[in-house]
Structure 1
Amino acid sequence: MSKQQILLLDPATDLKFKGPFTDVVTSTLRLRNPADRTVCFKVKTTAPRRYCVRPNSGVIDAGDTITISVMLQPFEYDPSEKNKHKFMVQAIYAPQAIYAPEHSTDLEAMWKEARPEDLMDSKLRCVFEMPCENDKGHELGVASVLNSSRVDVGPAARGGGGATVARGGATVAEDTEMRKLLEDCKRLQAEMSRLNTENTHLRDDGAVMMRKPAWSSASSLIGRDAAVSSLPSLLVVVAAVFLGFFVGKFVL
């Protein structure tokens, strides 16, 4: 059975990673040694291929703090993996020989030879957070703000009197602008209807005017035909008058 952890972890239980996870996402873990002795540490994970930990082991002197970067590699997010991955921070009091810098290479051998009862460990779970989950809470907050700023308009306002504004002056301005837009739309529809009526009348007048020249042309043609047809008769009459005049002159 391991001892109680001497190192103070920040965060203590959850290691959070915020998406999207199309690029490397880094979470920070801080280890503080409150003891009066040097402590050796090692960081392990249940998914070593998914994470890069720097540094993943080392020595923390008494009273010191070390910052560890835990880098999650890009992957396709799956909600079922939210709390599957876990980390464990192991610690052990450093033996006297480790204090000297020239013996720093003995750390790996020390971990292999360490007795289980001398080990101290803490476990953290990985929590994946997608931006949409945070945005949903933000949208709910915005909706509650909008609901709290609605305006109550009483019967007096509908009859032309003053409005009873419950909360928020911004909504009144928006309603006024909307009414103006509706009035403009109605006015444009009436103008379009008027223009369509005038266009229909103009088409009818044009058709009448196009028919009039046709009738006038027909009348003029009839008149010319009548004049042409009456011309031979007139010539016969004139010829008869001249003929009678000459005959009467010579005979008499």
Structure 2
Amino acid sequence: MPNQVLIIEPQNELKFKVDFAGLFELGHTTYMQLTNPSEHTVLFKIKTTAPKKYCVRPNSGVLSANSKVDIAITPQPVHVDNTEKHKHKFMVQSVIAPEGKTNIDQVWKEISPDQLMDYKLKCVFETPRGANLNDSGDTAPPAEIAKKRAPVEDAKLLTKDAEGPTQNEAKRKDDEHTPVSPNAKTTSFPKSENLESDLQKATNEVIHLREEESKLRHENLRLKEELLRVHQGGESRMPRGHSYGPEKTEQIALMPWIATAIGMALLGIIIGKFLM
């Protein structure tokens, strides 16, 4: 395999920005420059081990003698797993164009592997804080990060220790000047207990009134049925002029019961709305 005739920048690695969740930064594009310093026309192709993760433009082309081209590599908005980051690589393949050949696709098909010039670059991923991710996907300098954090943590502890006595002294003085009622805590609980007791009594009263209302309704229906039976039996035994006498008497006797039932029903509805 011949040596690579093209000059490739950057030479060893391509850097990409990712967030802490492993997603590529939107709108970030990495560039690679190919330069042909020779006197021959060179064909090139850009290949990657993760074609679904990157958009490469242009991914192939022709470089005339002493010319250059910029390759734009834009990551797709996808997640990159830590286990696969070390597998992301790019390869530049180039070959000197044969004389008289104009069909580039046909040249790539007919070229032998011995004539191809390959050049590989690895991918490096940078977090927003600038901590590079190595090929295994772990943070490269954990010891340096720990060293940087240590002085900050020490300063926070010193500040907290300095503020502690001052805050405690101020709190103690406020407690000395603030009058404390001896019954402050004890009076709040009875109020709460009394309120709960009143609510429970009102609820029980509403339930009792509703039960009484239900009983009165059943009693009213029973009396109506009995009155209807008496009325039907009276029609068969009495003259027509005296058939309504018992019904009126029963209706007068039922009036207090009906009024009591209606009053209890209204009282239950009002108390129920108050509790809701």
TM-score when normalising by structure 2 = 0.51
CA distance in 2 between counterparts of 1:183 and 1:63 reads 79
Q: 1:186 to 1:134 in 2, by over 3 A?
A: farther
The 8 Å contact of residues 41 and 89 in structure 1, kept in 2 or not, is answered as yes
Are the aligned partners of 1:88 and 1:122 in contact in 2 as well (CA < 8 Å)? Answer: yes
**Counterpart in the other structure of 1:7:** 6
Structure 2, unpaired ranges of 5+: 133-138, 184-276
- More displaced 10-residue stretch of structure 1: 21-30 or 115-124: 21-30
Following TM superposition, by how much is the alpha carbon of 1:187 offset from its aligned partner in structure 2, in angstroms? 1.8
Partner of 1:75: 78
Partner of 1:143: 149
1:19: which partner in 2?
18
For residues 11-50 of structure 1, the aligned pairs below 5 Å read 11-20=10-19, 21=23, 23=26, 25-50=28-53
* Partner residue in 2 for 1:183: 169
- The aligned counterpart of 1:91 is 94
Aligned to 2:167, the other structure's residue is in SS state helix
Distance in 1 separating the partners of 2:17 and 2:126: 5
Bigger Cα displacement from structure 2, 128-137 vs 59-68: 128-137
Does 2:106 correspond to 1:109? yes
Does residue 51 of structure 1 match 2:54? yes
Shift of 1:65: 2.6
Q: Match of 1:110, SS?
A: helix
Please say which structure displays the higher CA radius of gyration.
Answer: 1
- Structure 1 residues 109 and 177: CA distance shift in structure 2, 3 A: same
Cα deviation digits, residues 69-114 of structure 1 (max 9, x gap) = 112212223110111122211111123446xxxx4xx221221122
| SS at structure 2 position matched to 1:83 | helix
SS of 2:87's equivalent in the other structure is: coil
In the superposition, relative to structure 1, how do residues 80 and 182 fare at CA in structure 2: closer, same or farther (>3 Å)? Answer: same
Q: Report 1:115-134 matches (<5 A).
A: 115-131=112-128, 134=131
Structure 2 Cα separation of the partners of residues 145 and 172 of structure 1: 11
* Identity in percent: 36
SS at the partner of 1:87? strand
String of CA shifts for 1:87-146, please: whole Å, max 9, x gaps: 211111123446xxxx4xx22122112222221111122333444772986853542554
Deviation at 1:47, TM superposition (A): 2.4
Residues 25, 73 of structure 1: 8 Å contact kept: no
Change (3 A) 1:78 1:172: closer
CA distance in 2: counterparts of 1:88 and 1:31, whole angstroms: 12
CA distance in 2: counterparts of 1:143 and 1:11, whole angstroms:
32
Residues 126-135 or 39-48, more deviating: 126-135
Q: How many residue pairs are counted as aligned between the two chains?
A: 171
Where structure 1 has 5 or more consecutive residues not aligned to the other structure, the ranges are 151-169, 202-252
When residues 107 and 139 of structure 1 are mapped into structure 2, their CA distance, relative to the original with a 3 A threshold, is: same
